[in-house]
Amino acid sequence: MRWRRVEERSSGGGDSKPSLTATLHHFDVEFNDQRNTGMAKCALHDDNTPSMSFRLDEGLWNCHSCGKGGDSYTLIIEYHRDQLDKEIDFKGAKDYASAQAIEEGAAGPRQETYTSRYGGGRRAPSKRSDQKPGGGYVPAWKRR
């Protein structure tokens, strides 16, 4: 119950958060916003190579260099802490996002299907409940 996403709370739309795309644009992070996932230079520290991965559909980011990650509010809080040496909390991040007019938008719903990263992001077929486990292969010695 405590760790639900902001858009899953039942407060009637008052808790919409800034989109990760708008937050990254606000902090001048160079990234390809036409792609759902990708790598970019982290806004929290000086980067020579992209070390921050992002997923725009879920609104999540993770820096593999400094080890920080989260959603758009976490990025605002960490940016203030690291770059501006200023401590703000969640309420301060919400106030900052509304004061700076960072575009709000909910992250897409979490999909229950498994996505294979080795298959180029294509959806893996789901198992049917009426299918026997083990696939359809029958060895030659069993076919006789």
- Joined tokens for residue 32: 């390809």
Read off the pTM: 0.65
Q: How confident is the model at residue 131 (pLDDT cuts 50, 70, 90)?
A: low
Average of per-residue pLDDT across 90-119? 73
Which runs of E-coded beta strand occur in 1-144? 37-40, 52-55, 60-63, 69-70
Q: What are phi and psi of 88, to 5 degrees?
A: -130, 155
CB 95 within 8 A of CB 89: no
Q: What is the mean pLDDT of the chain?
A: 80
Q: Each residue of 30-61: pLDDT tens digit?
A: 998 888 899 999 999 998 999 999 999 889 99
